A and B are shown apart, each in its own frame.
Chain A
Amino acid sequence: MSDMQISGLSKVFGGLRATDDVSFHIAPGTVHSIIGPNGAGKTTLLNLMTGIYEPTAGEVTLGGQSLLGKPFHARVAMGLGRTFQTPQICHGMSAIENVMLGSHLGLDGRLLPSMLRLPGIVRGDEACREAAAGWMRYVGLERYLDAEPGAMPYGALKRLEIARALAGKPRLILLDEPAAGLGATEKAELSRLICRLRDEGVTAVLVEHDMKLVMSVSQHVVVLNYGKKLAEGTPDEVSRNPDVIAAYLGRTH
């Protein structure tokens, strides 16, 4: 039984096979990392998972249901959460409102009741505000509740995005380079946060360059090179794989 299944996935841009027959599965409650040198096809793979690209061939399923042909927002409704390499934050809203945005799917979105602020809307809104405050505490942003995103440091914005994704109660969360641009202390914080998510049974997929982070938080690592899957296994197995060392770690080891 797997949460996400990727089978024979390929994406061709003109003559370039950006993703080439990649297959793996993601078991529920685990942290998977996708690594590979620059241009290995990590971002393309992520965009295929979220529906920004449609694959040339292959299949992606979440909880047994096919995701193909569904736009990104519909995949989110099916339980896919995502954060971005550069935090995508709405600057017209306060920090907590950004997190509340993440949970709007489960709430009453009818126009007229919203305009009349009917009791059902108020209840949903207050519950969602409380939950959002909870998620902000969870990621360590409790002091930023009503802050303007423009006044928050970069690392806090990255965690704000994680809080927004979590507020949607995803069954699987994709983290696109969460450590990029963070300082050493923030990276340590992030690593604790991801471990905590893992221990609480959240399924996460991590696309990351920071090998220390990848090796310390993931149960399973998939290595891509030139769009193909080069290797997969536990962090230990992968880091001992000679192909991986040659392709990815070779120069530094």
Chain B
Amino acid sequence: MSDIDKAIGMPRGLSTAGGPRLRLAGQGGVLLLAAILLLLPWLLRSGFQYHMAVMIGIHAVIAIGLNLLVGYAGQISLGHAGFMAIGAYGTAILSSRFGWPPLLGVVVSAAAAGLLAFAVGRPILRLKGYYLAMATLGLGMIIYLLISNEVWLTGGPDGLSLPMLSLFGQDVDSPKVWYGIVAVLLLVAYWMAGNLVNSPLGRALRSLEGPEALSAAAGVDVSASKVRIFTVSAVVTAFMGGIGALYAGFISPKSADFMQSIELVLMVILGGMGSIPGAVAGAAIVTLLPQVLTAVEHYEPLIYGLILILVMVLMPKGLVPTLAHRLRRSRS
């Protein structure tokens, strides 16, 4: 050890924190989430509250998938509502027009979204920063326009109805059952995302956030890896788009528009880039905030915007990473 290192000294609490603790934290997060999801039904009183919980769950899974792309791999997308719409409309068209089993429709639509992401990913992901934002925005808009205008297939502005989901011969019409389904999906997504980011592949993907030379020097094929994570996030988003459509029973082009894409990115940024619990927290806030703000009717957009600005100014790293950092500091 050089004298310079000794002179500067080590930040306390960093050198002793072992890798095992970090890895345990990942599993601990899954357990904590499972406990919350199990206990939550005791707090939920009305059907509306269940509805909000289901919506948060659906958004949280999408935010976890999008966070892999935006937060961990550092690649922005302003077009993910397009993938959500592909999942939703694909499921609706395959199940109501062609009579496919709804879940098969969800899986096939998610695969189709993955194929699209894979095909457009290579040219699009060469772009960086603002340019990538523009290109993904364009992709989302094309999907939105197709859905709005191809009335023969999508019903246009009138939207489409979906058949009821049935599991094991039983129609799923109770919000409580939906809560259970979405809770399981959320747990699986949380666990799988945590596994991925802490695997060798995950580290290769996380290196994409930095300069390209760094990834390449570690042997990471930068463009192939970007396409890979873009595809994964598109599949997750479309899958949950399909699930969400089945839950709602009805879809319209509104669910595919630009604001929806913005809200998805907002969940990731607000909750915390590169934080899986952050994605869940962000999804909860962005889903609940408009409901809470209905109390102030006319001023809702104003206050909504103000809250976003304040959070970003006070917690630029997002809610969960900032709070976690403060907690660690107050402990040491």
In the assembled complex, the CB of B308 is this many whole angstroms from the nearest CB of chain A, namely 23
Docked CA distance A183–B217 (Å) = 26
User: Are B5 and A156 touching (Cβ within 8 A)?
Assistant: yes
Q: Which residue of B lies closest to A132 (CB)?
A: B19
Specify which of B15, B207, B213 is in contact with A101 (CB 8 Å cutoff). Answer: B207
In the assembled complex, the CB of A110 is this many whole angstroms from the nearest CB of chain B, namely 7
Specify which of A111, A116, A128, A140 is in contact with B232 (CB 8 Å cutoff). Answer: A111
In the assembled complex, B218 has its CB within 8 A of some CB on chain A: yes
Output the residue of B1, B3, B5 with the most chain A CB within 10 A.
Answer: B5
User: Are A105 and B15 touching (Cβ within 8 A)?
Assistant: no
The binding surface of chain B is classed by DSSP as helix
In the assembled complex, B169 has its CB within 8 A of some CB on chain A: no
User: Are A77 and B201 touching (Cβ within 8 A)?
Assistant: no
In the assembled complex, A155 has its CB within 8 A of some CB on chain B: yes
In the assembled complex, B305 has its CB within 8 A of some CB on chain A: no
Chain A residues with Cβ below 8 Å from B15 are 143-147
User: Are B200 and A124 touching (Cβ within 8 A)?
Assistant: yes
In the assembled complex, A109 has its CB within 8 A of some CB on chain B: yes
In the assembled complex, B242 has its CB within 8 A of some CB on chain A: no
Chain A residues with Cβ below 8 Å from B198 are 125
In the assembled complex, B288 has its CB within 8 A of some CB on chain A: no
Chain B residues with Cβ below 8 Å from A140 are 1-2
User: Are B213 and A72 touching (Cβ within 8 A)?
Assistant: yes
Q: Which of B28-62 contact A (CB under 8 A)?
A: none
Docked CA distance A111–B227 (Å) = 13
Chain A residues with Cβ below 8 Å from B5 are 143, 153, 155-156
Q: Which size bracket describes the interface of A in this complex?
A: 35 or more
Docked CA distance A124–B201 (Å) = 11
Given contacts A73-B216, A185-B4, contact A114 B210 (CB under 8 A): no
Given contacts A114-B195, A115-B192, contact A100 B203 (CB under 8 A): yes
Specify which of A88, A107, A124 is in contact with B214 (CB 8 Å cutoff). Answer: A88
User: Are B200 and A92 touching (Cβ within 8 A)?
Assistant: no
Docked CA distance A189–B215 (Å) = 27
In the assembled complex, the CB of A181 is this many whole angstroms from the nearest CB of chain B, namely 11
Q: Which of A43-70 contact B (CB under 8 A)?
A: 50, 52
Question: Quick check: which of B6-14, B82-90, B115-123 contacts chain A, the rest being far away?
Answer: B6-14
Chain B residues with Cβ below 8 Å from A91 are 210
Output the residue of A104, A107, A189 with the most chain B CB within 10 A.
Answer: A104
Chain A residues with Cβ below 8 Å from B17 are 146
User: Are B199 and A97 touching (Cβ within 8 A)?
Assistant: no
Q: Which of B180-226 contact A (CB under 8 A)?
A: 192-193, 195-196, 198-204, 206-207, 209-211, 213-222
Docked CA distance A128–B199 (Å) = 10
User: Are B217 and A72 touching (Cβ within 8 A)?
Assistant: yes
Q: Which residue of A lies closest to B209 (CB)?
A: A92
Specify which of B10, B200, B206, B210 is in contact with A147 (CB 8 Å cutoff). Answer: B10
User: Are B4 and A114 touching (Cβ within 8 A)?
Assistant: no
Specify which of B22, B196, B207 is in contact with A114 (CB 8 Å cutoff). Answer: B196
In the assembled complex, B230 has its CB within 8 A of some CB on chain A: no
Chain A residues with Cβ below 8 Å from B216 are 71-73, 76
In the assembled complex, A209 has its CB within 8 A of some CB on chain B: no
In the assembled complex, A196 has its CB within 8 A of some CB on chain B: no
Q: Which of A85-109 contact B (CB under 8 A)?
A: 88-94, 96-97, 100-105, 107-109
In the assembled complex, B228 has its CB within 8 A of some CB on chain A: yes
Docked CA distance A87–B214 (Å) = 9
Specify which of B199, B209, B219 is in contact with A105 (CB 8 Å cutoff). Answer: B219
In the assembled complex, the CB of A149 is this many whole angstroms from the nearest CB of chain B, namely 10
In the assembled complex, B105 has its CB within 8 A of some CB on chain A: no
Contact residues of B with A, CB < 8 Å?
Answer: 1-5, 8, 10-11, 14-15, 17-19, 22, 72, 192-193, 195-196, 198-204, 206-207, 209-211, 213-222, 228, 232, 274
A-B pairs with beta carbons under 8 Å apart, 7 shown: A76-B219, A83-B217, A93-B203, A109-B201, A114-B201, A147-B14, A155-B4
- Nearest 9 A/B pairs, CB to CB: A88-B214, A114-B199, A76-B219, A72-B216, A117-B195, A107-B200, A115-B192, A104-B200, A105-B219
Please name 14 further chain A to chain B contacts, defined as beta carbons within 8 Å, in addition to the given A76-B218, A93-B206, A125-B199, sorted by A numbering.
A104-B200, A105-B219, A109-B201, A111-B232, A114-B200, A117-B199, A143-B15, A146-B17, A151-B14, A156-B5, A164-B217, A164-B218, A165-B217, A185-B4
